[in-house]
């Protein structure tokens, strides 16, 4: 599937934030939201101006924001920049996470510092972004939050204990937050991708051929996943087509997990 595959214009007039949008799956999400008519803030700790420029070159509206999702002030500045540029905030895609550069290893070799870093970005980062974004959604009387977990949560995948635990927390956060903000007509759902061959994953020697091949073999659909494979479910969860759906986790892994 191409990353810029158009699905219509279901998000015209909406404003969205995508964290971790400078490359890989996050960049695919940001471009897809723009292709659907949304105005997009591409947030990342890295420079996301190339993705912003690509969206603008394709006829969309976008801004780039440097953001550390573990820092409340930085997240608040990103939300403020979005509402200043677009006048509103309708959609938050919490994609920023530490994964592609992690080394596969036994849990006994994971340092406390590495555990804390993964938890801070992957869990508290989602919390900080939701906390900053929801007041603007409440003022609108609606909103869509899409968190990104991982199919590893349902597999109990070994050798990435800090990552799997962090993504399990994202699933739990999604369910609990959906209960809190449903009264405000804000939906909170979650996508759990399988192994996706993004730039960072493809460049990580820890995820070698045998690891990728074994993962692919476990799927009903026997092929590697690309960032574009995540676009359809993400757009669905950001659109009014999922307006009566909240607290749910959708696994998108080619049928490795079925539940």
- Percentage of the chain beyond pLDDT 90 is 88
Mean pLDDT for all residues in the chain: 93
Query: What is the per-residue DSSP string for the chain?
Result: --TT-----TTTT-EEEEET-SSHHHHHHHHHHHHTT-EEEEEESS--HHHHHHHHHTT--EEEEE--TT-HHHHHHHHHHHHHHHS---EEEE---S-TTPPP--GGG--HHHHHHHHIIIIIHHHHHHHHHHHHHHHHT-EEEEEE--THHHHT-SS-HHHHHHHHHHHHHHHHHHHHHGGGTEEEEEEEE--B--HHHHH-TTS-HHHHHHHHHTSSS-S-B-GGGGHHHHHHHHSGGGTT--S-EEEESSSSS--
What integer is the mean pLDDT of 101-125? 97
**Domain range for residue 232?**
15-194+227-252
Q: Identify the CATH number of the domain in which residue 154 sits.
A: 3.40.50.720
The answer as to whether 258 is a domain residue is: no
29 is known as an active-site residue: no
Count of domains for the chain: 1
pLDDT at 8 (0 to 100) = 67
Mean pLDDT confidence for 125-135: 98
Whether 212 is covered by a domain: the verdict is: no
At 3, the pLDDT band (50, 70, 90 cuts) reads: very low
Catalytic residue among 99, 127, 154, 163: 163
Residue 168 pLDDT > 60: yes
Q: Does some domain include residue 203?
A: no
Structural domain contains residue 99: yes
With respect to residue 126, please indicate whether it lies within any of the assigned structural domains: yes
């Amino acid at each position: 599937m191409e990353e810029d595959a158009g699905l219509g214009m279901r998000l015209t007039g909406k404003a969205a934030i995508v964290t971790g949008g400078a490359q890989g799956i996050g960049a695919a999400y940001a471009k897809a939201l723009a292709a659907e008519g949304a105005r997009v803030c591409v947030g990342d700790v890295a420079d996301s101006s190339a993705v912003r420029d690509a969206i603008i070159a394709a006829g969309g509206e976008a801004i780039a924001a440097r953001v550390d999702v573990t820092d409340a002030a930085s997240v608040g500045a990103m939300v403020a920049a979005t509402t200043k540029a677009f006048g509103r905030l309708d959609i938050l895609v919490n994609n920023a996470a530490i994964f592609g550069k992690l080394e596969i290893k036994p849990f006994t070799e994971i340092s406390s510092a590495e555990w804390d870093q993964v938890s801070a970005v992957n869990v508290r980062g989602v919390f900080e972004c939701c906390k900053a974004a929801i007041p603007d959604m409440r003022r609108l009387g609606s909103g869509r939050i899409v968190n990104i977990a991982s199919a590893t949560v349902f597999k109990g995948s070994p050798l990435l204990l800090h990552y799997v635990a962090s993504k399990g927390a994202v699933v739990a956060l999604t369910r609990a937050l959906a209960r809190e903000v449903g009264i405000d007509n804000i939906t909170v759902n979650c996508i759990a991708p399988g192994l996706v061959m993004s730039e960072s994953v493809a460049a990580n020697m820890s995820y070698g051929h045998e690891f990728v091949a074994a993962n692919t073999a476990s799927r009903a659909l026997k092929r590697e996943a690309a960032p574009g494979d995540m676009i359809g479910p993400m757009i669905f969860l950001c659109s009014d087509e999922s307006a009566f759906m909240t607290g749910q986790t959708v696994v998108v892994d080619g049928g490795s997990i079925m539940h």
